[in-house]
């Protein structure tokens, strides 16, 4: 029997039932739905809208349903959605009290509440995962403050950095993800329950009570907005998309670094895969899949933005389409972060190969020009002189360090014997002490600052 059976003279078509039903995917909201219903029925009884006995029966019934769902004793049926499923089952178990539960409520405010409660919990879990990833990055960085590697722009060797410095760039990106997730939680502090279908209710409800008992700061201010707002879901999908974008860029680097051409890292056997035909292969499938799955999370964001763009106030069934997008993004982010973190934690770093790559590509050319600038040559002139040296070296297949003092002096009299020290890659890195730079002591400062961030943002 349908919730709305009274007004209808015909059964709904099977196709419509199937088409309309969200139970196959919104069943994961059962905990939140029960939590919301308990808060609602306690409030109804407190406000004298239902009797305390009915409220008690409802609560006991709901807790029974919760444990039965959890133990697998009851399976989900063919109802329209999780809200209907639980209400039907409750009424079957406790009779009239169950039929009173929905007083002064609609599935519209109920579903908005469920989604906020659900996201609040999942965002907490995702936050912990990102914090753990940042900690792992800090741990690896601590071992590689002196590991010189080429830094790239345009994927061309640019200036020398360290592996630690490179990793900490990602740690900073992920720390902004934490802030975004927290902002997202900050945007979900108002409780929609009590908005009713769209226009509140004539029953003397206490919205402050349900809001605070469910851990919200306040009830939503406007009942129409309360039921039709999905900004919080879009904000989450946007934060999730940015997390995936970061993971995807990182994945791309892992894929490059683990290629034979780079060989900066070797992925652990447990986090690589082989080929069915090429016996030599060791493929970075985990990184590739993370990069690939980024597309689906972007799709989830785009899909909900598009669902929401043309719907008039207040609730419309289009909004049921928020669920699969949000659930898919939650599931995807929650599977990607831990496996990516383990892949990083177990990969072998190959400092000699990074160092060897740093010797190519004239990545100390800026240091050479800076050397002259420090001797009083205007930087633009120094830049030109070193440009000539680079061309000269490239023609004879040498590096700057391999030139003789006389060859240096052929482009500028200001070159002295100490140029060789200035070109030493380890010195190039350790002298880059500017705030945010790759010098080991500056990296240590960045790491400890990041560790304090992790501590401050953990529960
Ligand atoms: N399953 C619906 C959803 O997810 C619940 C709200 C239904 N409300 C309604 N008036 N049909 O959006």
Taking the C-alpha atoms of residue 249 and residue 229, their distance in angstroms, rounded to an integer, is: 32
- Name the residue of 85, 108, 118 whose CB sits within 8 Å of the most ligand 1 atoms, as the mutation to test its pocket: 108
Mean pLDDT of the region 323-329 = 98
Q: Please, which pLDDT band fits residue 277 given cuts at 50, 70 and 90?
A: confident
SS3 348: strand
Largest interatomic CA distance in the chain: 101
Q: How far is CA 384 from the centre of its chain?
A: 45
| The CATH number of domain 364-438 is 1.10.40.30 | yes
User: Percent of the chain beyond pLDDT 90?
Assistant: 94
pLDDT confidence of residue 454 = 98
* Helix or strand run (H / E) with residue 252: helix 231-257
pLDDT confidence of residue 281 = 79
Mean pLDDT of the region 93-105 = 98
Query: Is 444 noted as a catalytic residue in this protein?
Result: no
Residue the block writes with tokens 């401050």: 456
Task: Determine if ligand 1 sits within 6 Å of the CB of residue 110.
Answer: no
pLDDT confidence of residue 278 = 82
Q: State both tokens at 139.
A: 């741990």
pLDDT at 76 over 90: yes
Task: Determine if ligand 1 sits within 6 Å of the CB of residue 108.
Answer: yes
| The CATH number of domain 108-193+221-356 is 3.30.70.270 | no
Residue the block writes with tokens 């892949």: 343
Q: How far is CA 261 from the centre of its chain?
A: 31
Query: Is 275 noted as a catalytic residue in this protein?
Result: yes
What's the pLDDT tens digit per position in 343-373?
A: 999 999 999 999 999 998 899 999 999 999 9
Beta strand 148-153 with 156-162 is antiparallel
Q: Which of 41, 67, 144, 154 is catalytic?
A: 154
Taking the C-alpha atoms of residue 56 and residue 35, their distance in angstroms, rounded to an integer, is: 14
**Burial track 247-284 (b if 16+ CB lie within 10 A, e otherwise):** bbebbebbbbbbeeebebbebeeebbeeeeeeeeeeeb
Which of 352, 359, 356 shows the shortest CA–CA distance to 423? 359
Q: Please, which pLDDT band fits residue 276 given cuts at 50, 70 and 90?
A: confident
Taking the C-alpha atoms of residue 37 and residue 105, their distance in angstroms, rounded to an integer, is: 10
In the reported structure, the alpha carbon of residue 107 is separated from the centroid of ligand 1 by a whole-number distance in angstroms of 6
Q: How many CA atoms lie less than 13 Å away from 143 in the CB half-sphere?
A: 9
- Name the residue of 21, 28, 81, 304 whose CB sits within 8 Å of the most ligand 1 atoms, as the mutation to test its pocket: 81
Look up the CATH architecture of domain 5-103: Orthogonal Bundle (1.10)
Q: What is the pTM of this model?
A: 0.94
Task: Determine if ligand 1 sits within 6 Å of the CB of residue 220.
Answer: no
SS3 316: coil
- Name the residue of 27, 87, 317 whose CB sits within 8 Å of the most ligand 1 atoms, as the mutation to test its pocket: 317
Which of 301, 295, 340, 335 shows the shortest CA–CA distance to 125? 335
What's the pLDDT tens digit per position in 218-268?
A: 999 999 999 999 999 999 999 999 999 999 999 999 999 999 999 999 999
Residue spans per domain, the chain: 5-103, 108-193+221-356, 364-438
Task: Determine if ligand 1 sits within 6 Å of the CB of residue 314.
Answer: no
What's the pLDDT tens digit per position in 164-219?
A: 999 999 999 999 999 999 999 999 999 999 999 999 999 999 999 999 999 999 99
């Amino acid at each position: 029997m349908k919730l709305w059976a009274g007004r209808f003279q015909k059964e709904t078509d099977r196709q419509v039932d199937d088409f309309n039903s969200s139970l196959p995917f919104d069943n994961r909201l059962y905990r939140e739905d029960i939590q919301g219903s308990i808060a609602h029925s306690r409030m109804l009884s407190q406000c004298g809208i239902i009797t305390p006995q009915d409220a008690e029966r409802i609560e006991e019934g709901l807790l029974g349903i919760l444990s039965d769902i959890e133990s697998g004793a009851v399976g989900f049926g063919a109802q329209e959605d999780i809200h209907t499923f639980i209400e039907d089952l409750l009424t079957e178990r406790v009779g009239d009290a169950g039929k009173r539960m929905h007083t002064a409520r609609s599935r519209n405010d109920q579903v908005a509440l469920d989604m906020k409660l659900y996201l609040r919990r999942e965002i907490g879990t995702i936050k912990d995962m990102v914090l753990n990833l940042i900690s792992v990055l800090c741990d690896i960085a601590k071992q590689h403050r002196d590991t010189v590697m080429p830094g790239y722009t345009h994927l061309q060797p640019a200036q020398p950095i360290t592996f630690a410095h490179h990793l900490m760039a990602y740690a900073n990106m992920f720390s902004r993800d934490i802030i975004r997730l927290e902002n997202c939680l900050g945007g979900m502090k108002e409780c929609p329950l009590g908005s009713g279908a769209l226009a509140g209710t004539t029953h003397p409800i206490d919205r402050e009570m349900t809001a605070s008992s469910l851990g919200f700061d306040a009830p939503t201010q406007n009942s129409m907005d309360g039921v039709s707002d999905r900004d919080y879901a879009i904000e989450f999908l946007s934060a999730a998309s940015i997390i995936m974008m970061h993971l995807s860029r990182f994945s791309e680097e892992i894929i490059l670094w683990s290629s034979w051409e780079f060989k900066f890292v070797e992925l652990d056997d447990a986090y690589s895969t082989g080929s069915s035909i090429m016996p030599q292969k060791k493929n970075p499938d985990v990184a590739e899949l993370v990069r690939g799955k980024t597309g689906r999370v972007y799709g989830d964001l785009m899909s909900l933005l598009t669902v929401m763009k043309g719907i008039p106030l207040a609730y419309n069934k289009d909004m049921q389409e928020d669920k699969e997008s949000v659930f898919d993004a939650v599931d995807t982010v929650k599977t990607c972060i831990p496996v990516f973190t383990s892949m990083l934690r177990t990969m072998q770093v190959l400092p000699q190969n990074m160092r060897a790559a740093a010797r190519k590509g004239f990545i100390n050319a800026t240091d050479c020009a800076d050397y002259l600038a420090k001797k009083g040559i205007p930087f633009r002139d120094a830049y030109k002189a070193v440009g000539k040296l680079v061309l000269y070296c490239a023609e004879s297949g040498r590096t700057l360090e391999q030139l003789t003092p006389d060859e240096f002096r052929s482009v500028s009299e200001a070159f002295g014997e100490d140029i060789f020290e200035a070109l030493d890659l380890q010195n190039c890195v350790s002298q880059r002490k500017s705030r945010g730079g790759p010098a080991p002591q500056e990296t240590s400062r960045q790491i400890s600052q990041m560790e304090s961030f992790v501590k401050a943002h953990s529960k």
